[in-house]
Structure 1
Amino acid sequence: MLDILSALYPWTKSLHVISVITWMAGIFYLPRLFVYHAEKAGDQTGELHETFTIMERKLFKLIMNPSSIATWVFGLALVFTPGIVDWSSVWPWTKAAAVIGMTWFHHWLGYRLKEFASGKNSRNGRTYRMMNEVPTLLMLLIVFSVIVKF
């Protein structure tokens, strides 16, 4: 099994990067949709509310969920590929913590999606603008962990 992972390493790494890019695009865009939804369709009824709800649901279910799963699958395949991760270093642990944080943020967005869909959003646009900085900070930690390997 480990020989297969080593042979497939360039493909696994490529698919991991593609999955991460797709996931991050959604993670950056969904909170922005929530800002507009909270500010422009504040009464949480009507046609504009329904349009935002459909856009948010499709982004989350059709793009973000599959790409987050693919990111985890290919990432774990990389972890188990011999010679890729030096667990005596700090960087795999900081990356792992940040990836868990990104996954938490993904699920936080999913809960907010359900609130909007049911008309029970209680947060304003400013909250979503501030929360949109969370994935940026986590992304920086992930990238510096992997590239600089501190």
Structure 2
Amino acid sequence: MLWVKALHIIFVTSWFAGLFYLPRLFVNHAMTEDAATRERLQLMERKLLRFMTPLAVLAIGFGLWTWAYYGFYAGAGWRWMHAKLLLVALLVGYHGWCWQLYRDFATGRNRHSHVWFRWFNEFPVLVLFAVVILVVVKPF
């Protein structure tokens, strides 16, 4: 079971690396006027999304495997897990939103400024703080 936990942590870390970097690419994309730079950024965004999506699936899969091993217990003392699962669902939605933003850039329909993307980039950081606190401290 320790291998499964280790793989879960590795894939979560890798997925988060993509969630941190992709919106940063969006910031640069929103700031540039140069066509060659826009094309290069779009290529980087597409490759990163195609790489990080399987990482997300693996992170969630190994997380569910770990949860199933310990039992899908829903009683007292496991409320932290429900909060964590809610945050994971929000991250999945955020990931999907990143796909939509990528498509907007690809079709020339981006309507957000680089400042908006800078704020957008902060969400996964906040989720990571909350998830780590929930898992380690188990406050409820």
User: What TM-score comes out, normalization by structure 2 length?
Assistant: 0.93
Cα distance, 1:83 vs. partner? 5.5
Equivalent residue number for residue 21 of structure 1:
13
State the partner residue of 2:70: 82
Match of 1:103 in 2: 92
Report whether the alignment pairs 1:68 with 2:56: yes
- Quote the residue 1:36 is aligned against: 28
Superposed displacement of residue 95, structure 1: 0.5
The structural deviation recorded for 1:88 is: 2.4
Using the TM superposition, give the Cα deviation of residue 72 of structure 1 relative to its aligned residue in structure 2, in angstroms: 0.9
Among candidates 27, 40, 44, match of residue 51 of structure 1: 40
| Residue matched to 2:121 | 132
8 Å contact kept, 1:37–1:52: yes
Structure 1 gaps, min length 5 = 1-8
For residues 106 and 88 of structure 1, do their structure 2 counterparts lie closer, same or farther at Cα, with a shift above 3 Å needed? same
SS in 2 for 1:81: helix
Q: Percent identity?
A: 36
Q: 4+ residue stretches of structure 1 with deviation over 3 A? A: 83-87
- 2:121 maps to a residue whose letter is N
Listed as ranges, the gaps of 5+ residues in structure 2 are: none
Aligned to 2:80: 91
